[in-house]
Structure 1
Amino acid sequence: MTHMAPVILEQPPLLAVRPPETVSMRTRDGVRLDADLYRPDGVGPWPVLLLRLACGRRTAMTSHYAHPRWYAARGYVVVVQDVRGRGTSEGRFRPFEAEREDGADAVAWAASLPGSNGTVGMYGSGYAGMAQLLALAERPAALRAVVPALAGWDVFTDWATEGGAFRLADAMGWALHCAAESARRLEDGAAYRALLEAIRSLPLDDEIPSRPRVLRDYARHCHYDDWLTTPGPGGSWDELSPRHALSGGIGEVSVLQIGGWYDPRLTGTLEAHDALSAGCDGTVRLLVGPWDRHGVAVHAGLDSPKPADVPSFDALQLGWFERFLKGEMNGAERGGPIRLFDVLERRWRDLPALLPAARPLHLSSDGLATRRGGALRDDAPDEAFLDVLVHDPRDPVPTVGGHAVPDAGPRDRAAADARPDVAVYDTAPLTAPLTLSGLAALEIWVEADAPSFDVSAVLSAVLPDGRVLPLSQGHARVEPGGEQRPMPVALRALCATLPAGSALRLSLAGSCFPAYPINPGTGAEPGETRLVDAQPITLLIHGGGARPSRLLLPARG
């Protein structure tokens, strides 16, 4: 593993930028899509950068990126377009349904605009990142480079659910924003006011927490009910997802993916990298940094000998576009195919591929892991043990840090781990630094006194100063009849160097609310579960002997 040598980009002479123009196009089925056009006031022609937004083009996604004028001043025609049914564009917005065809049509149209040299790059995060991937499925001839950020790969597993559980706070928050925009377009003032109030304070204490009254009353304005009730994976979910659309490859396009350790969609971003690398004739790179879902770099690691070099999204993609749209030999493609930010050492590491989850650490306990803690050890204990964990739905274990919305980030979870309904297992203090860069997994022997139950697992660093910082997390919902022995819990990839004197901790709980709905224990669907329906659930965690529960960590290189 090597540390990153930052690419130094020569600053091009800045150009004057013309006042923005509003321009429109027609999709293949006749729907008008509106856009704002920013052009350099110069001779040209220029490459085109296309940003397609579901949040309204007037914001220009300036929460994540520089204003389009910044790119235009550096020699690009910039097109910021409202997707179908958003902003002032015609049509009805149904998430992801039209982005494949509309995106390809928009690329061809953008390539023909005055001042264009016929080549197009796309950028954007979240929904705009998925829109890029879907447009690639049509292989538009003018599209040469894309930089999807914080996007994911599969709508069902990256946007709607995780480990079989609905992504409650994340999906509800986005649905409320979508509904509010639809109400605004229809000038439905009452709905708009109610939805804005719900956005500011998620209605998670409603009688039906996963389907609150505001979303029942205004269901016509968004997709939430469909996402909550449509079974998956596969079926109609495949029709929305890049995973399915790009199964035949993408041709000669250069792809820079940007992922965030604290972004809910990171696992899909990693899967996309593997698939795109296998099906692309262009350059494909992945960079994962300390970003959350808003593109904000957050730190809570150890003091570094030098300040961490965390480039902005703008610097990263400008270098990519200069290289692959203008042909400048700036070294933007240098380094390994995967570049990861070490969240504790605050350094970059290059990898040819993610290391597999191959090194086992076995859970060990005297039956009091919820009181004084158990252990993680290299050898499997000969003696069987049993830890008992009781989940009380009236006081669920809260979401604290990691990637889970609404409290994502490197939050100290020491107080959560001290709760009597959380079982913790620690390694002995490390005698030397330990670097983990790659995949992690959990295999746990667990049973419950209810037909359905949840297991929330968090892998953390216990630092010498007492902070407990989450490094990886996984959540699994077991439906009636769905028990597996041992039960696999997929944990997210990680990159962290634990210092000597610190320890690694696995925390287990029966909930992670409000990131995921409280499991009532009955097997009922979240949208049909009232607060009063949920029952306490007792989890039995086995280990040792014939039932060795174990954590699997990235093998050392």
Structure 2
Amino acid sequence: MSLAVQRVTPQPVPPHARQHMVRMRDGVLLATDVYAADTGEPAPTVLARLPYDKNSRYVFFDRIAKRFTARGYAVVVQDVRGKFRSQGRTLGWTGEVDDGYDTLEWITRQPWSDGVVGMFGDSYYGFTQWSAVSSQHPALRAIVPRVTCTSNAPGIATYDSGSGPQPPWLEGTTYQAQVWTDNDIHEFDVDLTGRPVIAAYQEAFDAIGKRSAGFDLIVGGIPLAPYNGPHPYDARPVPVLHCVGWFDNLGIAHMRDYTELAGRSGWAAVQYLVADTIDHENYFLEDAPATSAADRPATDHLADDTALERMLDSCTGPAIEFFDVFLKGVAHPDSLPRVRWKLGHESWHTAATWPPPEATAAELYLADPAAAAATVPGGTLAPRPAVPTETAEWRYDPDDLVPSAAADTFLQLRDHVDERRTLDRDDVLVFTAPAAEHPLDLAGPVQAVLHVESTAPTFDVFVRLLDLAPDGTARLIVRGCAQADAPGELRIALGHTGYRVRPGHRLALMIAGSDFPNHLPNSGSLESPWLTTSPKASRQTLWTGAARPSRLSLTVLPGNAEGGGAR
């Protein structure tokens, strides 16, 4: 039986939009909708360029446009090259610099445009904003990239921790196969449990009748250079409102963009941050798990229009405020807080910088490793390292992989999975801190520093920091991973967060050798993990103690360190 594939084709252009076929410099025509400003006069324009059908409910631009046009902005939404109604080759992360420039140039020549443009949008249409920055068109005056990064092209480690290669991200590979095969999107359930793993995708391409060029680049390990102009970091600075999700699967890379630019001359003066407790698809921690049950307000915006309107107000409100300053000039930039961030389970805060100036570093050391392979509470997270060197082992079994924190991390908070059963597996290590007597507020970067070795020539290390509640439920705060081919110290970035560990709750650090189905299982050998039919099991060793101080590095607010056992 062949794989069932559902083809997603373009939806109708809304009646309040007018579609144009805009010519690029090489003659390719890109389908482009214009929503006129309510003023009827030439106006600043908000541009979004995306690959997901400009008229689909998934991107909800008919609703987003109404919010901007009511505030006196024209809105332009474009299918990028090779997607839906637009012409050209289907290969993401290519051509966006030139196409962005040419689209900006077209906008400035229209009678409804006053020549000033800002860009807005999530994920890939955050990347197209960075591509337009690279193009250095003078009309681009501000961007609002949401849950995105400059570096998620095929072959680039999207959430690189700075510690070397990353385990291949299967979710990203499936995305390439589904979205970047031809003009349409192809939805299918890929069975990744067979071997070789690549065969499951081949079955999908056979059913579709063509291959994804982006997929082949990933499997071949061929990096794609996304910018044919300067890297955005080296381009002419424009004001940026970074809209980050603490639970976003691109959050590590997005915060790397923010911290890099906030430290660069020219760029630093125009960097702004809004960090919310959301995942990639804009589900909120306070609503998790999302539901449309009768006894509570609707919270699943992919299924419920009331929830969708609430979510859209949240994501467009900061952008409108930002554009009013940098596109219209109706207020001084100093009227905008430099940093607005939400502390999970508490409320919104403002700060002059991120991390907040009052935040301090704290470290918890992995102790009692002999207990770490047992059930919760396992080993301990202690305020200082033990003197003797101690070890703990965990196994990697390709036939019994550790389940991912969510089947789909784009929707991390929609289900907000309880991971207690995973913590109790005998192939993971768990270290827990004492229960907090007072709130422990995390506000900044989190990092795991682990001393590890393996019986295999290559091995993966996955780390999750979880909130362990008094009733035993365990839910994700941050996560990270690294791939190693030699023994030694691994520094694994777990991302930034704003999160309150409430009284009675405790931190739990989990270490594992796999994360399936989010990541490709390691071959355990020098064979390609995509092509192997017999991956090898292995054993990993963690070292702790004063000589090899494996530890969890946190950033906490004042008065919190002792409450969480950190110093």
TM-score by length of 2: 0.82
C-alpha change, 1:394 and 1:63, in structure 2 (3 Å) is farther
Residues 247 and 412, structure 2, Cα contact 8 Å, conserved in 1: no
Partner of 1:169: 171
Aligned-residue offset at 1:210:
4.6
C-alpha change, 1:245 and 1:87, in structure 2 (3 Å) is same
Q: Does 1:551 align with 2:527?
A: no
Aligned-residue offset at 1:219:
5.5
Map 1:365-384; keep pairs closer than 5 Å.
365=368, 367-372=370-375, 373-384=378-389
Residues 368 and 374, structure 1, Cα contact 8 Å, conserved in 2: yes
Partner of 1:287: 274
Map 1:182-221; keep pairs closer than 5 Å.
182=183, 184=184, 195-196=186-187, 198=188, 201-210=189-198, 212=200, 213-215=202-204, 217=206, 220-221=211-212
Residues 357 and 552, structure 1, Cα contact 8 Å, conserved in 2: no
2:403 to 398, 401, 405: 398
Q: Does 1:108 align with 2:105?
A: yes
Letter in 2 for 1:495: G
For residues 175-198 of structure 1, the C-alpha deviation after alignment (integer angstroms, 9 at most, x for no partner) is 31222x43x4xxxxxxx8xx43x2
Q: Does 1:224 align with 2:215?
A: yes
SS at 1:224's partner residue? helix
Aligned-residue offset at 1:471:
1.2
Q: Distance in 2 between matches of 1:64 and 1:428?
A: 47
2:68 to 62, 68, 71: 71
Partner of 1:249: 235
Residues 301 and 343, structure 1, Cα contact 8 Å, conserved in 2: no
Q: Distance in 1 between matches of 2:473 and 2:93?
A: 40
Map 1:49-448; keep pairs closer than 5 Å.
49-59=46-56, 62-63=59-60, 66-155=63-152, 156-157=155-156, 159=158, 163-179=165-181, 181-182=182-183, 184=184, 195-196=186-187, 198=188, 201-210=189-198, 212=200, 213-215=202-204, 217=206, 220-231=211-222, 236-237=223-224, 239-240=225-226, 245-251=231-237, 253-277=238-262, 278=264, 279-280=266-267, 283-299=270-286, 312-329=314-331, 333-335=335-337, 337-350=338-351, 352-354=353-355, 358-365=361-368, 367-372=370-375, 373-401=378-406, 404=409, 407=412, 410-448=416-454
Q: Distance in 2 between matches of 1:202 and 1:405?
A: 17
Aligned-residue offset at 1:254:
1.9
Letter in 2 for 1:249: A
Q: Distance in 2 between matches of 1:439 and 1:403?
A: 24
* Aligned residue-pair number: 511
Gaps of 5+ in 1: 1-16, 185-191
Letter in 1 for 2:97: R
For residues 419-459 of structure 1, the C-alpha deviation after alignment (integer angstroms, 9 at most, x for no partner) is 11111101112232221111111121211111111111111
Dislocated runs of 4+, deviation >6 Å: 307-310
Q: Distance in 2 between matches of 1:504 and 1:341?
A: 19
Partner of 1:498: 501
Partner of 1:14: none
C-alpha change, 1:126 and 1:105, in structure 2 (3 Å) is same
The farther-off stretch of 204-213 and 374-383 is 204-213
Q: What is the aligned-residue RMSD (CA, Å)?
A: 3.0
Residues 250 and 276, structure 1, Cα contact 8 Å, conserved in 2: no
Aligned-residue offset at 1:103:
0.3
Aligned-residue offset at 1:243:
11
Residues 429 and 512, structure 2, Cα contact 8 Å, conserved in 1: yes
C-alpha change, 1:406 and 1:171, in structure 2 (3 Å) is farther
Q: Distance in 2 between matches of 1:491 and 1:99?
A: 30
Residues 285 and 333, structure 1, Cα contact 8 Å, conserved in 2: no
Residues 285 and 413, structure 2, Cα contact 8 Å, conserved in 1: no
Aligned-residue offset at 1:203:
2.5
Q: Does 1:477 align with 2:483?
A: yes
SS at 2:240's partner residue? strand
SS at 2:260's partner residue? helix
SS at 1:486's partner residue? strand
Aligned-residue offset at 1:388:
1.8
Residues 274 and 341, structure 2, Cα contact 8 Å, conserved in 1: yes
Q: Distance in 1 between matches of 2:469 and 2:228?
A: 39
Partner of 1:5: none
TM-score by length of 1: 0.84
Aligned-residue offset at 1:221:
3.7
C-alpha change, 1:346 and 1:392, in structure 2 (3 Å) is farther
C-alpha change, 1:57 and 1:545, in structure 2 (3 Å) is closer
Q: Distance in 2 between matches of 1:431 and 1:275?
A: 36
Aligned-residue offset at 1:280:
2.7
Q: Distance in 2 between matches of 1:350 and 1:387?
A: 41
Letter in 1 for 2:190: L
Residues 291 and 298, structure 1, Cα contact 8 Å, conserved in 2: yes
For residues 129-184 of structure 1, the C-alpha deviation after alignment (integer angstroms, 9 at most, x for no partner) is 100111111221111121111111212445497752111023313431222x43x4
Map 1:437-476; keep pairs closer than 5 Å.
437-476=443-482
Partner of 1:10: none
C-alpha change, 1:135 and 1:300, in structure 2 (3 Å) is same
Q: Percent identity?
A: 26
SS at 1:320's partner residue? helix
For residues 118-138 of structure 1, the C-alpha deviation after alignment (integer angstroms, 9 at most, x for no partner) is 111111111111001111112
The farther-off stretch of 98-107 and 81-90 is 81-90
The farther-off stretch of 212-221 and 71-80 is 212-221
SS at 1:329's partner residue? coil
Residues 147 and 248, structure 2, Cα contact 8 Å, conserved in 1: yes
For residues 223-252 of structure 1, the C-alpha deviation after alignment (integer angstroms, 9 at most, x for no partner) is 111122225xxxx54x2159961232333x
Aligned-residue offset at 1:87:
1.9
SS at 1:419's partner residue? coil
Q: Distance in 1 between matches of 2:488 and 2:100?
A: 45
Letter in 1 for 2:465: L
For residues 456-515 of structure 1, the C-alpha deviation after alignment (integer angstroms, 9 at most, x for no partner) is 11111222343212111111112xxx3242222222112112122221111111111111
The farther-off stretch of 107-116 and 17-26 is 17-26
SS at 2:277's partner residue? strand
SS at 1:291's partner residue? coil
Letter in 2 for 1:147: V
Letter in 2 for 1:488: R
C-alpha change, 1:477 and 1:556, in structure 2 (3 Å) is same
Aligned-residue offset at 1:381:
0.5
Q: Distance in 2 between matches of 1:160 and 1:554?
A: 19
Q: Distance in 2 between matches of 1:397 and 1:72?
A: 48
